[in-house]
Structure 1
Amino acid sequence: MKYDIVIIGAGPAGLSFARSLGDTSLKVLLVERSSLTTLREPPEDGREIALTHLSVEMMKASGAWQQLADKDVSPICAAKVLDGNSSYTLNFDNDDSGLDALGYLVPNDKIRKAYFEVVEGIGNVELLTEISVEDVGSGVDSAWVLLSDGERVECDLLVSADSRFSETRRKMGVPATMKDFSRTAIVCRMEHTLPHNQTAFECFHYGRTLAILPMTGNLSSIVVTVSSAEADTIFNMSEEAFAADIEQRLQGQLGSMKLYGRRHLYPLVAVHANKFIGRRYAVIGDAAVGMHPVTAHGFNLGLRSQETLTKEIKHALSRGMDIGSYTVLEKYQTSHMRVTRPLYMGTNLVVGLFTNDNFAAKIARKATLRIANNFAPLKQVITRKLTEKRIDIPFFLPGLK
Structure 2
Amino acid sequence: MTPTSDIIVVGAGPAGLSFAASLAGSGLSVTLIEKSPLETLQNPPYDGREIALTHLSKEIMQRLGIWQRIPENEIYPLRDAKVLNGQSNYQLHFPQPDQARGEPADCLGYLISNHNIRKAAYEAAAESENVSFICALGVKEVKTGPDQAQVVLENGETLTAKLLIAADSRFSQTRRQLGIASDMHDYSRTMFLCRMKHTVSNQHTAYECFHYGRTIALLPLEEYLTNTVITVDSDRAASVQNLSSEELAESVKQQLNGRLGEMELASTIHAYPLVGMLAERFYGTRSALIGDAAVGMHPVTAHGFNLGLSSADILAGLVKEAAQQGRDIASPTLLSRYDSKHALHARPLYYGTNMLLKLFTDETPPAKLLRGLVLRVSNNLPPLKKLITRQLTG
Q: State if a TM-score over 0.5 links the two structures.
A: yes
**Structure 2 residue corresponding to 1:24, chosen from 19, 23, 26:** 26
Q: Is contact 2:11-2:168 (8 Å) kept? A: yes
- The residue number in structure 2 matching 1:332 is 338
- The residue number in structure 2 matching 1:343 is 349
Alignment of 1:22-61 (within 5 A): 22-61=24-63
Q: What's the CA shift for 1:51?
A: 0.3
**Alignment partner of 1:272: what SS?**
strand
**Alignment partner of 2:222: what SS?**
coil
Q: Provide the C-alpha distance between the structure 2 equivalents of 1:110 and 1:47, rounded to a whole number of angstroms.
A: 10
1:202 corresponds to which letter in structure 2? E
Matched, 1:215 2:259: no
**Alignment partner of 1:24: what SS?**
coil
2:112 corresponds to which letter in structure 1? V
**Structure 1 residue corresponding to 2:288, chosen from 268, 282, 286:** 282
Q: Is contact 1:8-1:160 (8 Å) kept? A: yes
Q: What's the CA shift for 1:206?
A: 0.7
Alignment of 1:99-118 (within 5 A): 99-118=105-124
Q: Provide the C-alpha distance between the structure 1 equivalents of 2:29 and 2:119, rounded to a whole number of angstroms.
A: 23
- The residue number in structure 1 matching 2:82 is 80
Q: Which moved more, 1:64-73 or 1:90-99?
A: 90-99
Q: For residues 135-179 of structure 1, give each alpha carbon's deviation from its aligned partner in whole angstroms, at most 9, with x where no partner exists.
A: 000111001000112210110000000000000100110111011
2:90 corresponds to which letter in structure 1? Y
Q: Is contact 1:48-1:108 (8 Å) kept? A: yes
Q: Is contact 2:25-2:128 (8 Å) kept? A: no
Q: What's the CA shift for 1:383?
A: 1.3
Q: Provide the C-alpha distance between the structure 1 equivalents of 2:392 and 2:239, rounded to a whole number of angstroms.
A: 34
**Structure 1 residue corresponding to 2:175, chosen from 169, 172, 197:** 169
Q: Provide the C-alpha distance between the structure 1 equivalents of 2:164 and 2:176, rounded to a whole number of angstroms.
A: 14
Alignment of 1:265-344 (within 5 A): 265-344=271-350
Q: Provide the C-alpha distance between the structure 2 equivalents of 1:121 and 1:150, rounded to a whole number of angstroms.
A: 28
Root mean square deviation of aligned Cα: 0.9
Q: What's the CA shift for 1:319?
A: 2.4
Q: Provide the C-alpha distance between the structure 1 equivalents of 2:22 and 2:203, rounded to a whole number of angstroms.
A: 35
1:260 corresponds to which letter in structure 2? A
Q: Is contact 1:134-1:148 (8 Å) kept? A: yes
Q: Is contact 1:235-1:263 (8 Å) kept? A: no
- The residue number in structure 1 matching 2:367 is 361
Matched, 1:13 2:36: no
Q: What's the CA shift for 1:98?
A: 4.1
**Alignment partner of 1:363: what SS?**
helix
Q: Provide the C-alpha distance between the structure 2 equivalents of 1:15 and 1:185, rounded to a whole number of angstroms.
A: 26
Q: Provide the C-alpha distance between the structure 1 equivalents of 2:73 and 2:222, rounded to a whole number of angstroms.
A: 6
Q: Provide the C-alpha distance between the structure 2 equivalents of 1:152 and 1:18, rounded to a whole number of angstroms.
A: 21
Q: Is contact 1:10-1:30 (8 Å) kept? A: yes
Q: For residues 60-86 of structure 1, give each alpha carbon's deviation from its aligned partner in whole angstroms, at most 9, with x where no partner exists.
A: 111110111122111000100000000
**Alignment partner of 2:367: what SS?**
helix
2:164 corresponds to which letter in structure 1? L
Matched, 1:246 2:252: yes
Q: Is contact 2:203-2:223 (8 Å) kept? A: no
2:323 corresponds to which letter in structure 1? L
Q: What's the CA shift for 1:95?
A: 3.4
Q: Is contact 1:208-1:355 (8 Å) kept? A: no
**Structure 2 residue corresponding to 1:132, chosen from 138, 150, 166:** 138
Q: Is contact 2:198-2:262 (8 Å) kept? A: yes
Q: How many residues align?
A: 388
Matched, 1:155 2:171: no
- The residue number in structure 2 matching 1:399 is none
Q: What's the CA shift for 1:232?
A: 2.2
Runs of 5+ consecutive residues of structure 2 not aligned to the other structure: none
Q: Is contact 1:81-1:90 (8 Å) kept? A: yes
Q: Provide the C-alpha distance between the structure 1 equivalents of 2:377 and 2:191, rounded to a whole number of angstroms.
A: 28
1:5 corresponds to which letter in structure 2? I
Q: Is contact 1:16-1:303 (8 Å) kept? A: yes
**Alignment partner of 2:147: what SS?**
coil
Q: TM-score, normalised by structure 2?
A: 0.97
Q: What's the CA shift for 1:196?
A: 0.4
**Alignment partner of 1:66: what SS?**
helix
**Alignment partner of 2:237: what SS?**
helix
1:112 corresponds to which letter in structure 2? R
Q: Is contact 2:97-2:108 (8 Å) kept? A: no
Matched, 1:385 2:391: yes
Q: For residues 317-343 of structure 1, give each alpha carbon's deviation from its aligned partner in whole angstroms, at most 9, with x where no partner exists.
A: 232211111011000001101111110
Percent identity over paired residues: 49
Q: Provide the C-alpha distance between the structure 1 equivalents of 2:133 and 2:222, rounded to a whole number of angstroms.
A: 34
Q: Is contact 1:73-1:216 (8 Å) kept? A: no
Q: Provide the C-alpha distance between the structure 1 equivalents of 2:118 and 2:97, rounded to a whole number of angstroms.
A: 31
**Structure 1 residue corresponding to 2:64, chosen from 33, 54, 62:** 62
